[in-house]
Homo-oligomer: A and B are copies of this chain.
Amino acid sequence: MAIDSSASNGSKGKSSGSSGSPASGTRRARRVRMTGAERREQLLDIGRTLFAERGYEGTSVEEIAAKAGVSKPVVYEHFGGKEGLYAVVVDREMRQLLDMVTGALTAGHPRELLEQAAFALLDYIETFTDGFRILVRDSPVAQSTGTFASLISDIATQVEDILGLEFKARGFDPKLAPLYAQALVGMVALTGQWWVDARKPKKAEVAAHLVNLAWHGLGNLEPKPRLIGHRKN
């Protein structure tokens, strides 16, 4: 419950490294038996992958353990069970996504905020695809919190606040802010979900077009939208 370094060593099977600078403290690199923390991270990694591709119920503890090269009780030792592991995986992903999006929603002009948030979400999706897949799927445990819908709503709430202010300043009904917030977030989220598979335009371009649509509308689309902040990747 304390470790939070996103180390994520991608070792699978039992192949051992060749040489190596000592990774942590006085420990040697080549070994089968891991530190508690190392094993924990490895299990989280594997769990995330499997949960992403098979869902919660479709993944068995034995499978996770096997892929990590250990036996079931190890998993129970670390996380108390399947739900425990799943909870940690989901929690970390939600944190990650929320941090990225929230971080993007701090600058100034609403249009910039929109642009940054859209880009941030796409960035998260690209970087943590498995996590995104897990969040999109339905969480069996913890209906109230932990759902993707609740996460989306969480983000939407932040957008709401921004929109609410803007609406007030422009004389619109602020009660409609949630609706528009939801629509905007939904637009970006589902576009992201689509973009996960068909990565046709580049991330920045997708973001630019999303902003274009959201800001100008179909009636006044710009032919060649550009992001204000210049991003490369």
Contact = CB atoms under 8 A, between A and B. Distances in A.
Contacts of A172: 221, 223
A146 to B, nearest CB: 15
A228 to B, nearest CB: 14
Contact of A214 (B111, B185, B210, B213): B213
B215 A219 contact: yes
A152 interface: yes
A227 to B, nearest CB: 15
Nearest to A137: B138
Interface residues of A, number: 51
Given A183-B210, A210-B183, A219-B215, A193 B140 contact: no
A172 to B, nearest CB: 6
A55 B137 CA distance: 11
Each complex incorporates copies of this chain amounting to 2
A158 interface: no
By secondary structure, the A interface counts as helix
A171 interface: yes
A179 B206 contact: yes
Contact of A216 (B138, B184, B185, B219): B219
B209 A180 contact: yes
Contact of A190 (B138, B185, B215): B185
B191 A190 contact: no
Interface of A: 55, 57-58, 110-111, 114, 137-138, 140, 149, 152-153, 156, 170-173, 176, 178-180, 182-191, 193-195, 197-198, 200-201, 206, 209-210, 213-221, 223
A-B pairs with lowest CB-CB distance, top 5:
A186-B190, A217-B217, A187-B187, A57-B57, A216-B217
